[in-house]
């Protein structure tokens, strides 16, 4: 099964994508992680095109499509993919359809994460990440080290108000139109509200699977 996660930055789709990937036995493909990997290697041929993300801007569709097409050819993605951070535009969505069609596949499920602006800023400005295993935490948890590997937690360099504003505007301008695109596609489409800050990731995960079940899709955790 191939699943697309939609939602603004900080909506929690990355955390839920990781949980679902583990539960379903498929791989999570995060363009954010792919980009950060490239930014750590200035000799990478795509470094000049990808470095615009440091300013909160989006990488061109052509470059993103090349990165994704190359990435999903790897054997670990043969059983299905959860796409986090891709596609971001209609052009990318059409490119993904073509890429998957060549593989005899299609987008089967789209999960849209809805969240208010206030909750987004609270989530993002308090976000901490493990630089080794990429586990995401929040300052309200009171942790300073990763519970998985013990590495000291850090703030992401792009988690500041100015860059968040740019990313949200980019999302509204370029990514929001994807909702209509996928609503008119063969994919099953569900919407999840993530405004309730009291919900744990596990509780939200249960809500997602209940929504999927309501659509007649049975996924075994």
Cα–Cα distance, 171 to 58 (Å, whole number): 9
Segment 170-197 mean pLDDT: 89
DSSP state of 151: P
Which pair of tokens denotes residue 221?
Answer: 């955790």
Of 81, 62, 67, nearest in space to 20 by CA? 81
Question: Which residues belong to the active site?
Answer: 13, 88, 127, 156, 167
Tens-place pLDDT, residues 26-74: 999 988 778 888 889 999 888 888 888 887 777 789 989 988 988 788 8
Segment 108-137 mean pLDDT: 89
**pTM score, whole prediction:** 0.78
Distance of CA 159 to the CA centre of its chain: 16
Vertex 33: Cα angle to 106 and 159 (nearest 5): 120
Sorted by where each starts, the structural domains of the chain and their CATH numbers stand as 2-214 (3.40.50.300)
């Amino acid at each position: 099964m191939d699943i697309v996660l939609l939602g603004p930055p900080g909506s929690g789709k990355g955390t839920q994508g990781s949980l679902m990937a583990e539960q379903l036995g498929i791989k999570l493909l995060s363009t954010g992680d792919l980009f950060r990997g490239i930014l750590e290697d200035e000799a990478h041929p795509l470094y000049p095109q990808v470095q615009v993300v440091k300013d909160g801007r989006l990488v061109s569709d052509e470059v993103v499509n090349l990165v994704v097409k190359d990435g999903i050819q790897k054997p670990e993605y043969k059983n299905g993919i959860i796409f986090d951070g891709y596609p971001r535009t209609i052009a990318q969505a059409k490119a993904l359809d073509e890429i998957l069609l060549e593989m005899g596949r299609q987008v089967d499920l789209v999960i849209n994460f809805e969240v208010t602006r206030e909750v987004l800023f609270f989530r993002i400005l308090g976000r901490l990440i493990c630089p080794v295993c990429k586990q995401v935490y929040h300052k309200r948890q009171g942790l300073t080290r990763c519970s998985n590997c013990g590495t000291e937690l850090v703030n992401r360099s792009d988690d500041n108000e100015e860059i968040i504003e740019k990313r949200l505007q980019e999302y509204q301008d370029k990514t929001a139109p994807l909702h209509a695109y996928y609503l008119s596609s063969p994919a099953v489409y569900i919407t999840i509200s993530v405004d309730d800050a009291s919900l744990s990731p596990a509780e939200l995960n249960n809500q997602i699977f209940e929504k999927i079940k309501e659509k007649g899709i049975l996924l075994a955790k």
